[in-house]
Amino acid sequence: MPQHKSPRKRLKQNAKREARNNYVKKTIKTLAKKIHSEMPIEEKKEMLSEVFSQLDKAAKKGVIHSRTASRRKSRIALYLNKLEG
């Protein structure tokens, strides 16, 4: 454990950030799993904007890299396009 004030504060800040980042990542994973689950394609299309929004927000906050967000968005869109076609 840190002995001085500044490292103690840094420890608390890191724990807070880690919890926030894990929450965002977990939310993205949950939404992605829902999209790939057994549900009508109309519901999946409605969820698409929510998933894209969450990915963009995570990339903007720096939780995930912007290219990672783009890659996941394109793969989800590709998945839905294959279901339609």
**How many domains is the chain built from?**
1
Q: Which of 62, 55, 60 is nearest to 27 (CA)?
A: 55
* pLDDT tens over the chain, length 85 residues: 889 999 999 999 999 999 999 999 999 999 999 999 999 999 999 999 999 999 999 999 999 999 999 999 999 999 999 998 7
| CATH classification of the domain holding 73 | 1.20.58.110
Could you list the residue range(s) of the whole structural domain that residue 60 is in?
5-84
pTM metric for this prediction: 0.86
Angle of helix 5-35 versus helix 41-61 axis, rounded to 10: 160
